[in-house]
Amino acid sequence: MPTRLKRHLPWALVWVVLTLLGGLLFARSELLTLKNSFDEDSRRAHLLLDQKFTLLDKLLQSLASGAHLTLAGVANASADDRNRADQRLINLHPFIQQIQRRAGEDAFADQLLRTSDVASRQLQKPLMVDPGVTLGPGKTRYWLVLGTASAGVALLVDLNLLPPWQDWPMVRDASPTRVTLAQADRADGSGPPDPLAQDLLVLQAGSNRLAQPHGWHWHFEQAFESPTQTFKLVAHHRVGWSDLPWSHTATWSLTVALVLLALRALLRQRHDQYRTEELLRLGQMGRVNTLGELAVGMVRELGEPLKFAVEANQVAGQLLKSEPPQLRSAQEAVALAATQSGLAFDVVERLRHVVQRPDLSREIERLNLLGATHASLDLLSTEFARLGIVPKLDVQGPDFSVMAAPDALEQIIHNLLINALQALALVPPHERLLTLVVSSTDNASSDKRGQLAVQDSGPGLANNIVTQIFEPFFTTKQGALGLGLSLCDTYASAMGGTLTAYNRMPRGAEFCLRLPLAT
């Protein structure tokens, strides 16, 4: 997988996961809102129709007892008075289509009403004429019959006109909810009926998505309280994918993306700042260590001559004191020379003690060589990009740790990578190759080592300098002190390891750092 894709993949996965979680929360909230609205509208519609059916039962009782005439102030009403009162009732309640009466032992003219009247008197309760006879597909009217010994009343009711549309909780022509009236004894206990089955009356057609198998289906079914009119209200509603709050999800997704981009930019800025500080620290540490190497070289180059000068001056002073006596001024000059030489020697000694490197044996600990390599590559990622180099990291075998000093190991890897970059800058861009091989030798022998090999395709090393490249003050670079590789070699030795250099075929160089494996 390309390195660039590896960097972006975790952020993309976080964005996808947060978008999905947000989308699920929005969908759940929207579905809950729609479900509550569906339940509330269905219960409201049921209540409105239940009030109508209850009103019909009361009107039937009132007509049979003549209570409506008494309330109207007509105690001994004639047939015309009753007809006029009935007509006013029909005008007031348009869902009542017709009112028929029976007085005394008379009988209804219609056979169906006569049969229902007799049954009502026997049962002593009002009856709804068998819906199977008067109700069905395309038939929306039914009779309510109440018979007593003294009179009988029959009301012809039209279900189409019964719902109070002015108070209806849903927009009848636009609502996706299907609302129907069905017989209360129709359910067979097998669950909700088919939402597209032919009911007694379709109050609200709803959308055609009810036939679709996908989405969320909600069902409401409840019978009415009327003991006479055995109907129930059935409502179906199906929510499809298009009803989900996609705009909210898209806004959430965009917001998450912007927040993650801002967070990534902030972390990148902090990482770049850390990398700059690390490079500065490594540079400062390199300069201090170079100064230490320089001081050691100065001590080696100047310490012995100055010491010999001091000793010579001391001998000269003694000779001057011998017989024959020498001039006093000569004695003073030699003494002054000896004193100054001693002071110079002391200055060099003090400098050596100030800048000499500490004993690395006290800093050695278990370190992951692969992790240290990754850290050094990350610090120099800007330089790699500038030169168009994509380092290849070849990890051979299982992960392991070595015994090393953190700062020293970091300095060695950093210097080896810098040297490789400087060598690769001397060849054409399309020929620049950099490979880092991390491996270990863990066998039966006592020499168990962890190894890091830095291989480049630069100009390589001349054969006559391979053996001298780690010597102090030896360099092939103009203006360099020649102490960097010497310092790395010294560090490697102090940690119980080795640093070697090879020429590669057909071109290039390889520097191999070997350190003891941690046990």
Please give the residue that has the higher pLDDT: either 310 or 487.
487
> Which whole number is the average pLDDT over 43-67?
89
Q: Which residue has the tokens 């390589």?
A: 460
> Which whole number is the average pLDDT over 469-498?
74
- The two tokens of residue 133 are 């006879």
Among 46, 81, 387, which residue's Cα sits nearest to residue 235?
A: 46
By mean pLDDT, which of 211-220, 462-471, 495-504 is the weakest? Answer: 462-471
pLDDT of residue 148: 86
Q: What's 431's DSSP letter?
A: G
> Which whole number is the average pLDDT over 20-27?
93
Alpha helices in 200-324 (DSSP H): 246-321
> Which whole number is the average pLDDT over 298-303?
56
Give CA–CA dist 188/192, Å, rounded.
9
Q: What's 2's DSSP letter?
A: -
pLDDT of residue 160: 86
> Which whole number is the average pLDDT over 323-329?
58
Give CB contacts under 8 A, 24+ apart, made by 304-313.
306/341, 306/344, 306/345, 306/348, 307/345, 309/337, 309/341, 310/338, 310/341, 310/342, 310/345, 313/337, 313/338, 313/341
Assign 103 a pLDDT band (cuts: 50, 70, 90): confident
Q: Which residue has the tokens 């509208």?
A: 41
Q: Which domains are delineated in the chain?
A: 14-185+200-206+216-240 (no CATH), 258-356 (1.10.287), 362-516 (3.30.565.10)
> Which whole number is the average pLDDT over 349-377?
73
Spell out where 8-110 has E strands.
96-103
In terms of Cβ atoms closer than 10 Å to its own Cβ (0-12, 13-18, 19+), residue 173 is exposed
Q: Is the pLDDT of residue 201 over 80?
A: yes
In terms of Cβ atoms closer than 10 Å to its own Cβ (0-12, 13-18, 19+), residue 222 is middle
Residue pLDDT, tens place only, 222-249:
999 988 888 899 999 998 888 888 999 9
pLDDT of residue 70: 47
Residue pLDDT, tens place only, 140-151:
788 999 988 888
Half-sphere exposure of 164 (CA within 13 A, CB side): 15
pLDDT of residue 300: 54
Give CA–CA dist 351/220, Å, rounded.
94
pLDDT of residue 379: 82
Q: Which residue has the tokens 């700059």?
A: 276
pLDDT of residue 252: 93
Q: Is the pLDDT of residue 189 over 50?
A: no
What is each CA distance from 157 to 121, 133, 436, 452, 494, in whole angstroms?
A: 21, 14, 93, 97, 108
Give CA–CA dist 163/53, Å, rounded.
10
Q: Are 67 and 151 in contact (CB under 8 A)?
A: no
Q: Is the pTM of this model over 0.85?
A: no
Q: Is the pLDDT of residue 354 over 50?
A: no
Residues 6+ apart with CB under 8 A from 111: none
φ/ψ of residue 167, rounded to 5: -110, 10
pLDDT of residue 328: 58
Assign 259 a pLDDT band (cuts: 50, 70, 90): very high
Q: Exposure pattern of 76-106 as b/e (b: 16+ CB <10 Å)?
A: ebeeeebeebbeebbeebebbeebbbbeeee
By mean pLDDT, which of 194-203, 238-247, 467-476 is the weakest? Answer: 194-203
By mean pLDDT, which of 39-48, 98-107, 295-304 is the weakest? Answer: 295-304
pLDDT of residue 446: 64
Q: Which residue has the tokens 């509550």?
A: 36
Half-sphere exposure of 106 (CA within 13 A, CB side): 11
Amino acid residing at 337: A
Q: Which residue has the tokens 């996908």?
A: 214
> Which whole number is the average pLDDT over 167-173?
91
Please give the residue that has the higher pLDDT: either 291 or 214.
214
pLDDT of residue 83: 81
Alpha helices in 66-110 (DSSP H): 67-71, 79-92
Among 515, 482, 514, which residue's Cα sits nearest to residue 501?
A: 514
> Which whole number is the average pLDDT over 407-417?
88
By mean pLDDT, which of 206-220, 314-328, 374-388, 437-451 is the weakest? Answer: 314-328
Assign 195 a pLDDT band (cuts: 50, 70, 90): very low
Give CA–CA dist 190/49, Å, rounded.
26
Assign 186 a pLDDT band (cuts: 50, 70, 90): very low
> Which whole number is the average pLDDT over 464-484?
66
Dihedral (Cα; 90, 94, 98, 103), 10-degree rounding: -40
Angle at 220 between CA 219 and CA 222, to 5 degrees: 150
Residues 6+ apart with CB under 8 A from 136: 200
Indicate left, alpha or beta for 508 from its phi (over 0: left) and psi (-120 to 50: alpha). left
pLDDT of residue 408: 86
Q: Is the pLDDT of residue 367 over 70?
A: yes
pLDDT of residue 67: 55
Mean pLDDT rounded to a whole number for the chain: 79
Amino acid residing at 102: R
pLDDT of residue 190: 42
Residue pLDDT, tens place only, 418-460:
889 988 999 999 999 999 999 987 655 567 889 999 999 998 8
